[in-house]
Amino acid sequence: MPRPSSQRLVLLSGWGIDQRIWQPLEGCWPASVEAHAVDWPGYGDAPALPDNAKLDQLASSMARQLPGDAIWVGWSLGGLLATALIDHLPPPRGLILLGVGERFYSDDGVTSSELASFRHAFSRDPHATWRHFLRWQTQGEPNARQAHRQLRALLGDTPSANRSTLAQGLDWLATIDNSRRLHNTPCPVKRLVGEHDPLVGTSIRNKAATLAKAGHCPMLSQPVQLADALAAQAILAVEEQP
């Protein structure tokens, strides 16, 4: 059981990437934090959802992984999904969105046309498109080449999810809009964005706390800074609970 004074964090990954992305933070957490990374359905050893699954099916599969007495930390697509699941599950103590806003696409970040082009490329060559995405999202790190090598070392040469699971994730990236949910949430919401995140526009960055010298993958380039920032945001979220 968590210590009474501790913050229990559930770490949720983004598109095409399983829970191994959080491994660099091991050993970096403050003593007050108990962090646990989980996989979305279809990643790692987690059973995949049926094709064209709906959010209520996702909620059913994740109910035990997303307890209401924890703070959910959603990175990228993981943040979109975690926010959407608040409609289907008991709300968490707090929600921390890392590298994402109400939607994945925006006029001043990744545009809807860029996302459509990415989905078209994925339909032609899923593995090549996945590898391109790994390189793309590390571009904002202080040493993008090193960050990309770290990411490849963590994940290997192929995604842990199959084509159907990855395609479903792209559908959710293109269709989930949490504007309404985030306007009136049943729990405190905190936002963190890397200072040089290439996937996030100014409109989202202006609403978030900033991680200096970091891009979309601060767990690779700034693990200590990220762990401390998540712990601090978790404390603020709990303090804001009614």
The tokens describing 79, both together, are 């943040």
pLDDT tens digits for range 101-154: 999 999 888 999 999 999 999 999 999 999 999 999 999 999 999 999 999 999
Buried/exposed code over 173-199 (b: 16+ C-beta within 10 A; e: otherwise): bbebebeebbeeeebbbbbbbbebbbb
Q: Indicate the pLDDT class of residue 6, thresholds 50, 70 and 90.
A: confident
pLDDT at residue 3 tops 70: no
Place of tokens 């890392």: 98
pLDDT score, position 118: 96
pLDDT at residue 1 tops 70: no
Indicate the length of the chain as a whole number: 242
Interval 198-204 mean pLDDT: 91
DSSP structural state of residue 18: -
Other CB atoms within a 10 A radius of the CB of residue 25 amount to 20
Interval 36-46 mean pLDDT: 97
pLDDT at residue 186 tops 50: yes
C-alpha closest to that of 103 among 135, 137, 79: 79
C-alpha closest to that of 156 among 138, 139, 136, 134: 134
How far apart, in whole angstroms, are the C-alpha atoms of residue 217 and residue 229?
14
Buried/exposed code over 95-118 (b: 16+ C-beta within 10 A; e: otherwise): bbbbbbbbbbbbeebbeeeebeeb
How far apart, in whole angstroms, are the C-alpha atoms of residue 11 and residue 36?
6
Beta bridge partners of 94: 71
pLDDT at residue 242 tops 90: no
pLDDT score, position 46: 96
pLDDT score, position 2: 42
How far apart, in whole angstroms, are the C-alpha atoms of residue 186 and residue 69?
13
C-alpha closest to that of 9 among 77, 82, 80, 81: 82
pLDDT at residue 189 tops 90: yes
Phi/psi of residue 6, nearest 5 degrees: -90, 160
Residue partners of 110: CB distance under 8 A and separation at least 6: 104, 199, 201
Place of tokens 């084509």: 163
Mean of per-residue pLDDT scores for the chain: 94
pLDDT at residue 236 tops 90: yes
pLDDT score, position 5: 53
Q: Could you give the percent of the chain with pLDDT greater than 70?
A: 98
